[in-house]
Structure 1
Amino acid sequence: MQQNSLRTSVRRLSGPVLLSLGLLAACQRPVSTSTRPAEAGSTSSPAAAMAPAVIANPVLPGDFPDPSVVKVGDTYWATATSSNWGPTFPLLKSTDLVKWELVGHVFPGERPAWADYYFWAPEISEEGGKIYVYYTAHKRGGNLAVGVASASNPAGPYTDHGPLVGQPHGSIDGFPMRDENGQLYLIWKEDGNSVQQPTPIWAQRINEARTALVGEKQELFRNDPATWEGNLVEGVSIVRREGYFYAFYAANGCCGSGCTYATGVARAKTLLGPWEKYAKNPILINNDAWKCPGHGTAVQHQGRWFMLHHAYAANSQQFVGRQGVLTEFTWAATGWPEFRGGTTAVAPTPVSAVSFTDEYTSKTLAPSWQWPVEERPTFALRGGQLYLTARPDHTGAALGQSTTAPAYTATTTLLNPAALPAGSRAGLAAHGDPDNTLAVVAGGGKVQLLQTEKGQTKTLAETTLPAAKTLQLRLQAQQGSQFTFGWSTDGGATWQPLPAGGAAVNGSYLPPWDRGIRVGPLAHGPASAVAVFENFKLEPQQ
Structure 2
Amino acid sequence: MRLGEIHLRDPFVLSDESTGVYYLYGTIGQTAWGGQAIGFDAYTSRNLVDWEGPIPVFRPPSGFWADHHYWAPEVHLYQGSYYMFASFKADHRCRATQILISNSPLGPFVPHGEGPVTPPDWECLDGTLYVDDEGMPWLVFCREWTQVKDGEMRAVRLSRDLDRALGEPVLLFKASDAHWPIEAEGEGNFVTDAPFLVRQDDGQLLMMWSSHGIEGYAIGIARSATGHIAGPWVQEPELLFEKDGGHGMLFRSMEGQLLLSMHRPNIHPYERPVFVPIRNRDGRLKVILDTEIGQQINEEKSEE
TM-score (norm 2): 0.83
TM-aligned CA deviation for residue 85 of structure 1: 5.7
How has the CA–CA distance of structure 1 residues 273 and 225 changed in structure 2, closer, same or farther, with 3 Å as cutoff?
closer
Counterpart of 2:121 in structure 1 is: 168
Query: Could you tell me which residue of structure 2 aligns to residue 284 of structure 1?
Result: 241
Deviation per CA, 1:439-497, whole angstroms, max 9, x where unpaired? xxxxxxxxxxxxxxxxxxxxxxxxxxxxxxxxxxxxxxxxxxxxxxxxxxxxxxxxxxx
Q: CA deviation at 1:346?
A: 4.0
**Alpha-carbon offset, residue 347 of structure 1:** 10
1:79 aligns with 2:32: no
Name the structure 1 match of 2:136.
Answer: 183
- The residue aligned with 1:212 is 164
The 8 Å contact of residues 60 and 100 in structure 1, kept in 2 or not, is answered as: no
Output the amino acid matched with 2:130. Answer: M
2:73 counterpart (122, 140, 159): 122
Distance in 1, matches of 2:111 and 2:264, equals 29
Residue 132, structure 1, aligned to residue 83, structure 2: yes
Judge conservation of contact 1:103–1:155 (CA < 8 Å) in 2.
no
Can you list the C-alpha shifts for 1:387-406, whole angstroms capped at 9, x where unaligned? xxxxxxxxxxxxxxxxxxxx
State whether residues 225 and 232 of structure 1, in contact with CA within 8 Å, keep that contact through their aligned partners in structure 2: no
Indicate if the aligned counterparts of 1:64 and 1:321 stay in contact, CA closer than 8 A: no
Distance in 2 separating the partners of 1:85 and 1:237: 28
Contact 2:181 / 2:212 at 8 angstroms: preserved in 1? yes
Counterpart contact for 1:62–1:322, Cα < 8 Å: no
Q: In 2 relative to 1, CA 332–99 (structure 1 residues): closer, same or farther, beyond 3 Å?
A: same
Report the 3-state secondary structure (helix = DSSP H, G, I; strand = E; otherwise coil) of the residue aligned with 1:155.
Answer: coil
> Which residue, 70, 79, 97 being the options, matches 2:48?
97
How much is the aligned-residue C-alpha RMSD, in angstroms? 2.8
Q: 1:148 matched to which residue of 2?
A: 99
Q: Contact 2:137–2:158 at 8 Å: present in 1 too?
A: yes
Instruction: Note the residue ranges of structure 1 that are not aligned, 5 or more in a row.
Output: 1-18, 21-58, 287-291, 353-542
In the TM superposition, 1:290-309 aligns within 5 A as 292-301=244-253, 302-309=255-262
Q: Does 1:222 align with 2:174?
A: yes
Number of equivalences: 280
Distance across 1 between alignment mates of 2:59 and 2:4? 19
Inter-CA distance 214–347: structure 2 relative to 1 (3 Å threshold): closer
Distance 1:67 1:185 in 2: 21
Matched-pair contact (CA < 8 Å) for 2:211–2:218: yes
How many Å separate the matches in 2 of 1:283 and 1:215? 33
- What is the SS of the residue equivalent to 2:175? coil
Is the contact made by 1:297 and 1:307 (CA closer than 8 Å) also made in structure 2? yes
Alignment of 1:9-88 (within 5 A): 19-20=1-2, 59=3, 61-72=5-16, 73=18, 74-82=20-28, 83=32, 84=35, 86-88=37-39
1:252 aligns with 2:212: yes
Query: Structure 2 matches for 1:193-204, cutoff 5 A?
Result: 193-195=145-147, 197-204=149-156
SS at match of 1:90: strand
* Alpha carbons of structure 1 residues 169 and 126: separation in structure 2 relative to 1, 3 Å: same
Tell me the SS of whatever aligns to 1:87.
coil
SS of residue matched to 2:279: strand
C-alpha distance 112-284 of structure 1, shift in aligned 2 (>3 A): farther
Q: Is the 8 A contact 2:179 2:237 kept in 1?
A: no
* Equivalent residues of 1:262, 1:293 under 8 A apart: yes
Q: Which residue of 2 aligns with 1:264?
A: 220
Distance 1:164 1:196, change over 3 A: closer
- State how far apart, in whole Å, the 2-side matches of 1:60 and 1:273 are: 38
- Given that 1:233 and 1:251 are in contact with CA atoms closer than 8 Å, whether structure 2 keeps it comes out as yes
Q: CA deviation at 1:259?
A: 7.9
SS where residue 263 of structure 2 aligns? Answer: strand
Is there any run of 5+ residues in structure 2 with no aligned partner, and where?
183-189
Tell me, yes or no, if structure 1 residue 239 matches structure 2 residue 198: yes
Maintained 8 Å contact 1:70/1:299: yes
Sort the Cα spacing of 1:92 and 1:183 in 2 relative to 1 into closer, same or farther, 3 A: same
Q: Offset of 1:76 from its aligned partner?
A: 1.9
Identity %: 23
Which digits, 9 at most, give the CA deviation of each residue in 1:19-52, with x for residues without a partner? 21xxxxxxxxxxxxxxxxxxxxxxxxxxxxxxxx
Aligned residues of 2:123 and 2:147 also touching (Cα < 8 A)? no
1:339 is aligned to 287
Relative distance call for 1:172 and 1:259 in structure 2 (3 A) is: farther
Structure 1 distance, partners of 2:290, 2:205, is 21
Offset from partner CA, 1:80-133 (integer Å, 9 cap, x none): 012346431111122233332215223246576110211111111112221111
Question: 2: distance between equivalents of 1:249 and 1:152?
Answer: 29
CA distance in 2, matches of 1:330, 1:347: 13
Equivalent-residue separation in structure 2 for 1:111 and 1:245 (angstroms)? 40
For residues 110 and 148 of structure 2, what CA distance do their matches in structure 1 show?
Answer: 35
Counterpart-to-counterpart distance in 1, 2:85 and 2:192: 18
